[in-house]
Amino acid sequence: MSYHYSEGIILGLANAGLTLYAKLINRDDGIQEGSNISSGFTELASGDYRFEYDSVPDGFYGYAKFYNSAGDVYLCQSEPITPPAETAVGPVYETINIVDELAAPIDGVDVKISTDAGGDNIIQSGYTDALGNVIFRLDVGSYYVHLQKAGINFTNPQTLTVS
């Protein structure tokens, strides 16, 4: 078994157009888990990237280190990666649509679902697509939605009721 992981990487205009790769690093021993990951990178804007990876090993606790393939240059490290809670996936598909003030969809918004207003207990996360949509599978209940994208100020958190 494995699970999905995504991460926004903001490197700035000076790092536009890079070919990136990632290494999953075990938090307990600092040793790389698996081989280098060279797929799943999308440049959203000049120097801003999204990393999507569907094969994080079950039970993996650690982080990802990101490198520029040209010259094997270390760039940055992700937030801690922890396995999703088994209870996070439920029976209801919930589509969240993010648009701007003119109702135009916003692609690449980092959307996090939490059970607390402070966003300390994130249970699922994803990025909006070109239509401004991201889909989560949630249990019936109340949640908080936290939005983030460079250059855009969102009101956080927003409440979500799944029924």
Residue 104 belongs to a domain with what CATH number?
Answer: 2.60.40.10
**CB of 110 closer than 8 Å to CB of 78:** no
Spatial CB neighbours of 86, under 8 Å, sequence gap ≥ 6: none
Structure tokens at 119: 């966003």
Q: Indicate whether 93 pLDDT > 80.
A: no
3 state DSSP class of 55: strand
User: Are residue 19 and residue 72 in the same domain, yes or no?
Assistant: yes
User: Using alpha carbons only, how large is the chain's radius of gyration in Å?
Assistant: 16
Distance between CA 150 and CA 65 in Å, rounded? 21
The whole-number pLDDT of residue 149 equals 95
The average pLDDT across 53-68 equals 82
Tokens 């690093």 sit on residue: 25
Q: Give the end of a domain, one of 77, 95, 120.
A: 77
pTM beyond cutoff 0.85: no
**CB of 105 closer than 8 Å to CB of 136:** no
Distance between CA 143 and CA 151 in Å, rounded? 25
User: Are residue 23 and residue 68 in the same domain, yes or no?
Assistant: yes
Which domain covers residue 104, as residue numbers? 86-162
Domains identified in the chain, total number: 2
The whole-number pLDDT of residue 156 equals 95
Q: Give the end of a domain, one of 77, 94, 123.
A: 77
User: Are residue 91 and residue 122 in the same domain, yes or no?
Assistant: yes
The whole-number pLDDT of residue 5 equals 79
The whole-number pLDDT of residue 64 equals 87
